[in-house]
Structure 1
Amino acid sequence: MVRRRGVALVGTLGLAGALVTVIPAMAEESAVPRSAAGPQWTACPKDVVVPPTVQLPVRCAKVPVPLDYDDPDGTQIEIMVSRIASTKPEKRRGVLMFNPGGPGGTGLDQPAFLVSKGLPTGVTDAYDLIGMDTRGVGHSSPVSCGFTADDAYWANIPPYAPDDAAVTRQAEIAKDVADRCAAHDTEGRLRHLSTANMARDLDRIRAALGEEKASFYGASYGSALGAAYTSMFPATTDRVVLDSIVGDTHLDRAGLRRFALGMEQTFPDFAAWAAKRHESYGLGRTPQQVRRTYLTLAERLDEKPAPDGMTGPLFRQVTFGSLYNEIQYANLARLWQTYLNPGGAPQAKAAAAPNPQDNALTVFLAVTCNDVEWPEDVDTYRRAVAQDRKRFPLFGAASANILPCAYWTHEPSEPPVAVNDKGRRNVLILQNRHDPVTPLAGGKLLREKFDKRARLVTVDGSGHGVYVLGGNACALNVTTSYLVDGAMPAGDRNCQRG
């Protein structure tokens, strides 16, 4: 689950100078002192994108962290962080760390990206904006399973399984993927990729930056990382904003299956949009007709893939990813037009297919498989696929399908991070009512788990992402007021469209 830029397919962080008087059992007390010298800031790598509209300088540095926190003085790896520094020392509150999602998404360019999209100056004045590649990603001691663009494995979500045989075929592919990851892991690093360790890294970065506390903004999987971070380190997290909620401190099988619910709830927004434009796209005069068009096309492509390689599972995957933002609706409608006439020459080419990025996919699998136990019995997945194909016919037989986690070499080294509901109220949760990948149910789940520590802002909107990117005035104002002034809503809020 990553930041929206085109069709994103899923599809997710001690005290210095004082001691905590009461530490909940699930919290960790940092023994890491604040750094006096701080990181050495230099020019960022050339692949860190800074949009031309961003006039603020972006610098990068590396922070050492233990590969294995059970052996803190052993092998060290480096986490690369980026910074857009506040230019208003009189207004500066501290640092605001970002995570755009994943797990496996690069985040070095996240501060500049959000500034280019209109991050309010109140936020850039109040904080040094800190992006990063989390452990194993990009410029932070990257890992690899050796994936190539020709691999049969799909990015992050298994393909839609139209029948039991498709689950069996996917199980064979999933086992091969897990075996290859194990074979490529010659330095034994994959087992140390987990949400808990990434949260520990965040506290190390906070200390290296010389800060007693750090604020955090995380979207999609970043919401899980942020939930883990503030649960493990409640005394050193300041203002926490979690956007588009996975539902817990990790992505588990239940969270993955909620993608199907999210598509069922979000698809009607596209269907209504397309129905209003039937004279242009011919997909159906009513939302119900648009839905039938989708199912007809998917089933047709199941039986006979298009000459360009478009299959039923891929068609469903691309449609799912296009629901992340309304700006993608027109391209999706045009793609559907391509396949409405079976005898026509498809205009979309194989480039529309997912092209797995080795590093990002490796990190996704390692973190997802290491965080929790996954069922190993293929029949468990067959039953879930059959159930979700009926409950959620648009996409359920994809997100319930089998992952390489069923065959992963490493068992989780520790239990998943438990949500810590003890401490001051400092967690602001943002959630669209219609979100294809992190539906409202996830936001409600996390709100309930944080209890009095959190407030939930529910937005009458559609798509993946609320703050800045979502375009909702109410949610923008509430979040900015919290980050800048600490104005947490007195109760949960509902934001209407606009």
Structure 2
Amino acid sequence: MPESRQALPMKQIKRTAALVAASVVLLGLTVPLSASAAAAGPLTWTKCEGTGLDPRQRCATVDVPMDYSDPDGRTIRIAVSRIPSEKPAARRGALLLVPGGPGGDSLSDPSEKGRQLPRSVRDAYDLIGFAPRGNSPSTPVSCDIDHSDLARTKLLPWPSAGGSVAGNMAVARRISDACARDGDELLRHISTKNNARDIDRIRAALGERKLSAWGVSYGTYVGAAYLEMFPRRTDRIVLDSNDHPDPVRAQRAWLAAFEVGVEDNFPEFAKWASRPGNPYRLARTAAEVRPLFLRLAARLDRAPIPWPGANPEELNGNVLRQTMLDGFYDPADGYPAVAKLMLAAKKGTVPPAGQAPPDSVLRNYAAVVATTVCNDAAWPRSAAVYRKDVAAGRSKYPLTAGMPRNAMVCAAWPWQPKEPPVRVTDRGPSDVLLIQNERDVATPLGGALKLREALGRRAVMVTNDATGHGAYLDNGTACGDALVSRFLATGERPRKDTYCR
């Protein structure tokens, strides 16, 4: 889910760079308007900030209630972007591009994804992006988190080398205290359900009776929430790289998904890393790669290598594990990044530290992740729960060393959820197409099948014989791409669940 990291694959670096650029745009101002005023009037489209955008893309803001239980109270602004249909006579409506994360935005997606979408889809829709509540340049949130706690291996809860969770519980308390001490009231009102409510406000502001959407990763959970809460407002819905339908309850299923996702992907990495002629070849056979990785991680646990300019300033076992997890999102860029770090570690060296986003951007990102996950559902608060779960995870899934069962900031979060989590059902129109890669590190096939089951007759699912996160027009198959494009352009879905090689 979260998609900002230190040892980033190239695609994530570009996404994070877009967040950095967006952070200087002062659109996230709070204006005390009534709820009726927030929903009224046409949008004012102006030039978007940023580089590399399609010149036709324009940006605006939509005012929404901060607290939907107090619709006449304070409002916040949601930044939106649009590229109009390229053929008005063929226009069907608006296609909302729902970002992953939490912590991601899709403001540049009308330009970036618009270049990939076939002409038939660009003709049928205005392409709409947005920055979900809390994400700059929408009205932003932030917590004064220490620089060291912004490390990727802290934001995802890697236990200590020996498996202790004490450090993770301490990080959870520090971040929670920072949010409670200096965070804005908006922190209490960021959740998946409120993201879905904001989407319906965007729909209304666009003047659309119904909305089509393409949600990716966490965006599939937001999309499922919208399907559940506003079923009669949906047109054609594509859910891509699908979350377990209940990812934030006490069992913390979305985080636990990394255990299975890494295991699903590692054999593909091992085959690649042992291939003759590969300039980053790690071993003669695929069978040798896994033990090599585990040995290197264990050695770095015992004797980290100094890494000036990185955060943390050392290459330790958890940094190597996190690099592996990140690299599996996108094999084309990620596999070489993992192999190069392993080769450097074997020699006792490190590559130059990459340039990280400014701390202000990471604080905004971390605050949005924390508020969304912790406000959606309560997590266990006892260290004993995490000690037991981490020990079991380290034994069964050594590649991920217990991280997916560990304590995030939610273990010390100062506020309780305001409403129950989303419960996905099969009630509503049959207008959903799921697209899923068979080997996805962040949203494994098993979780996607649970979402497919929960949606029942509402959905049809296309499974790609493919590796990586992001199926449609990304790491999927030509067959899957064609089926999704046809559905968006014409409404025609496969008659039954389909497997694409």
Do they fold alike, i.e. is TM over 0.5? yes
Which residue of 39, 42, 55 maps to 2:43? 39
Residue 221 of structure 1 aligns with which residue?
A: 218
The Cα offsets for residues 148-199 of structure 1, whole Å up to 9 and x where unpaired, read as 543365364212443343x1121111111111111122x3111100000010
* Alpha-carbon distance change, 443 to 437 in structure 1, aligned in 2, over 3 angstroms: same
The Cα offsets for residues 423-454 of structure 1, whole Å up to 9 and x where unpaired, read as 22111111111011110011101000001101
Which residue of 357, 362, 378 maps to 1:357? 362
Deviation at 1:41, TM superposition (A): 0.6
2:383 is equivalent to residue 378 of structure 1: yes
Deviation at 1:5, TM superposition (A): 5.7
* Alpha-carbon distance change, 2 to 113 in structure 1, aligned in 2, over 3 angstroms: farther
Partners of 1:374 and 1:149 in 2: CA distance? 25
Residue 68 of structure 1 aligns with which residue?
A: 67
Within 5 Å, which residues of 2 pair with 1:41-440?
41-44=45-48, 46-47=49-50, 49-51=51-53, 54=54, 57-116=56-115, 118-151=116-149, 154=152, 156-165=155-164, 167-185=165-183, 187-248=184-245, 250-252=247-249, 253-277=252-276, 280-308=279-307, 309-328=314-333, 329-342=335-348, 345-349=349-353, 357-440=362-445
Check whether the contact 1:95–1:127 (CA below 8 A) recurs between aligned residues: yes
Q: Secondary structure at the match of 1:65?
A: strand
Check whether the contact 2:63–2:75 (CA below 8 A) recurs between aligned residues: yes
Partners of 1:485 and 1:390 in 2: CA distance? 49
Partners of 1:214 and 1:353 in 2: CA distance? 34
Partners of 1:354 and 1:438 in 2: CA distance? 28
Which residue of 486, 489, 492 maps to 1:484? 489
Check whether the contact 2:100–2:216 (CA below 8 A) recurs between aligned residues: yes
Partners of 1:217 and 1:50 in 2: CA distance? 22
Partners of 1:188 and 1:272 in 2: CA distance? 50
Check whether the contact 1:8–1:322 (CA below 8 A) recurs between aligned residues: no
* Alpha-carbon distance change, 449 to 396 in structure 1, aligned in 2, over 3 angstroms: farther
Partners of 2:279 and 2:44 in 1: CA distance? 56
Task: List runs of 5+ in structure 2 lacking aligned partners.
Answer: 17-34, 308-313
Deviation at 1:280, TM superposition (A): 3.5
CA RMSD between the two structures: 2.4
Residue 24 of structure 1 aligns with which residue?
A: none
Q: Secondary structure at the match of 1:96?
A: strand
Residue 451 of structure 2 aligns with which residue?
A: 446
Amino acid in the other structure paired with 1:150? S
Number of paired residues?
A: 467
Partners of 1:466 and 1:279 in 2: CA distance? 25
Q: Secondary structure at the match of 2:318?
A: helix
Partners of 2:160 and 2:471 in 1: CA distance? 31
Partners of 1:380 and 1:346 in 2: CA distance? 36
Deviation at 1:334, TM superposition (A): 1.6
Amino acid in the other structure paired with 1:129? L
* Alpha-carbon distance change, 112 to 330 in structure 1, aligned in 2, over 3 angstroms: same
User: What TM-score, normalized to structure 2?
Assistant: 0.88
Check whether the contact 1:274–1:283 (CA below 8 A) recurs between aligned residues: yes
Check whether the contact 1:86–1:92 (CA below 8 A) recurs between aligned residues: yes
The Cα offsets for residues 348-403 of structure 1, whole Å up to 9 and x where unpaired, read as 43758997711111101100000011001111111111111122111141121111
Deviation at 1:115, TM superposition (A): 2.0
Check whether the contact 1:430–1:459 (CA below 8 A) recurs between aligned residues: yes
**Percent identity of the aligned residues?**
41
Residue 16 of structure 1 aligns with which residue?
A: none
Q: Secondary structure at the match of 2:231?
A: coil
Q: Secondary structure at the match of 1:482?
A: helix
Check whether the contact 2:9–2:327 (CA below 8 A) recurs between aligned residues: no
Check whether the contact 1:246–1:255 (CA below 8 A) recurs between aligned residues: yes
Partners of 2:65 and 2:82 in 1: CA distance? 22
Check whether the contact 1:34–1:207 (CA below 8 A) recurs between aligned residues: no
Amino acid in the other structure paired with 1:462? T
Q: Which has the higher helix share?
A: 2
* Alpha-carbon distance change, 153 to 326 in structure 1, aligned in 2, over 3 angstroms: closer
Q: Secondary structure at the match of 1:189?
A: helix
Amino acid in the other structure paired with 2:342? W
Partners of 2:160 and 2:440 in 1: CA distance? 22
- Of 390-399 and 146-155, deviating more is 146-155
Amino acid in the other structure paired with 2:176? A
Check whether the contact 1:247–1:442 (CA below 8 A) recurs between aligned residues: yes
